[in-house]
Amino acid sequence: MRGTMGTASTVVALAPAEQKKADEDRLLTAFVDVCGVPHANIKRHPIVLALKHAGVALFHADFIHVTAADVDLLQHAKSGDLVPLELNFKMILRAFLAFHHHESHKKCGGINILDATAAQFKNFRNSECNPAKEIAPWGLALSKNEGLSNWNKLVKPSARDFKPFCGANDWVDYKDGFMITLEAQNLTHLVNPTHVVVLR
């Protein structure tokens, strides 16, 4: 058989422990690549320490489920004492979380955060992110699409636009108008009772 040779692709499935490690690395890599946390002290950075103290170590399993209230309560160890996370770091975390949900909403599905760049995040943070606005998870944002809801309200037919057929006299008038329209469009065969449909 000529021309049918091809290569077979294989899917590599990671073991649960490997998946967990990959998800943990994804979180740390995203902080370095997207948020601009210095790579040299990633394990000692206040954001990472605060998330670790709160039990957030994985990106997909933990971080994307964090709420704005959770970010506000983050603490980390500093000189042996638990101190609240500094405001600028809280703002970075909130913006990063909002950025992930915003980009996922635009793509109508979860994104690979490692494909995002620091420039995209900075642009989102400076132009689109509203710290006072609640962070809506992308799946929830899709189901509560206000634009679609408003459009449906605008195009909803009104009962006043459609007169009911109350009497036989009205029906004749409407039928005549309908037939005139069909004749103008050369579609009278659609209502012709003697017309036979031929299937081939």
Number of structural domains found in the chain: 1
| pLDDT 10s digits, 141-187 | 545 556 666 666 676 666 676 666 566 667 777 788 888 988 898 88
Residue 76, H or E segment: strand 75-78
Q: Which residues contact 68 (CB under 8 A, 6 or more apart)?
A: 94, 97, 134, 135
Q: If you ran DSSP here, which 8-state letter would residue 12 be given?
A: P
133 belongs to a structural domain = yes
Residue 185 covered by a domain: no
Q: Is residue 10 part of a domain?
A: no
User: Is 196 among the domain residues?
Assistant: no
On whether residue 58 sits in a domain, the answer given is yes
Distance in angstroms (rounded) separating the CA atoms of residues 100 and 113: 7
Which range of residues forms the domain containing residue 96? Answer: 16-145
- Stated pTM of the model: 0.59
In a domain, 157, yes or no: no
SS3 78: strand
Residue 183 forms part of a structural domain: no
